[in-house]
Amino acid sequence: MAYTKEETDRFADVNGIRLHYNEAGSGPALICTHGGGPGANAWDNTRHCLEPLAQHFRTILLDLPGFGESAKDVKLGDTPMDFFCAKLMRDLMDQLSIDKAHMYGSSAFSPSSLRFGLEYPDRCGKIVIQAYAPGEHGVQTEGLKSLGVFANDPTRENMERMVQFFTPREDLRPQSFVDARFKAATIPGHLEGRAEMRSTKNSDIAKDIGRLKTQVLVVWGNEDGMIPVEGALDALKLIPNVRACIWGDRSGHFVAYEHPQEFAQLLIGFLEN
């Protein structure tokens, strides 16, 4: 069946924070988040794979604070973002009576999934991360620069340029795709909330990653204009018990969108075996 956003919309108040998520399916829990760019949200990040994933898992597409329909005015204080989000996901699991969950994080929020595995190993299944490797890489790509350009001047023209770095294939970024991302990026309070929940506020997880016990799958596109695919090799060197899948065919930063059926089958096979 094809799930709609409206029928899967859910809300929860966790530690005084209003969280939005979409839920479908049954079985072992799989919590999917999103990246950190303007307009990012869990529904758009993973909805193309939701139907096959929901046939195997209780699939939860979670908007983290500042993004999607979750609260926009959340402050991290002195807590690193990966620690903050990992605890928030654990507390959401408690509220939803989930003892253990697999994690799927993308880009800026991949560290939150990895941190969850480090801090709550008994609550964590396997972990999938997209376009992320631990460590300081110092690469300020044109794609990453475009995020800041839009955040400082949120025009549709700047959104259209930003989207070009997400996926190089024109057929996968029609005007409707640009419009949807622009609409999500201009939700009141989102850009301010995103500024609080930015990737630079993650801890240096490379110092701790060696003690991660669970299995990790890294996924990437060969022409990712945001985070260079060479980072996959860094991930393979640093993360224990890891494997990687890299798509060719001019694939970019959104492999879950660019290859939804193949992506879903890859996750199902990895998580179930």
Residue 56 falls in the annotated catalytic set: no
Give helix 142-152 / helix 156-166 axis angle, nearest 10°.
160
Token pair recorded at residue 58: 């209780």
* Cross-strand partners of 61: 22, 32
Catalytic annotation, pick one of 34, 190, 253, 259: 253
Residues 6+ apart with CB under 8 A from 137: 231, 234
DSSP-based three-state secondary structure for 70? coil
Rounded CA-CA distance 265/259 in Å is 10
* Measured distance CA(34)–CA(62) in Å, rounded: 8
DSSP state of 139: -
Residues catalogued as catalytic: 253
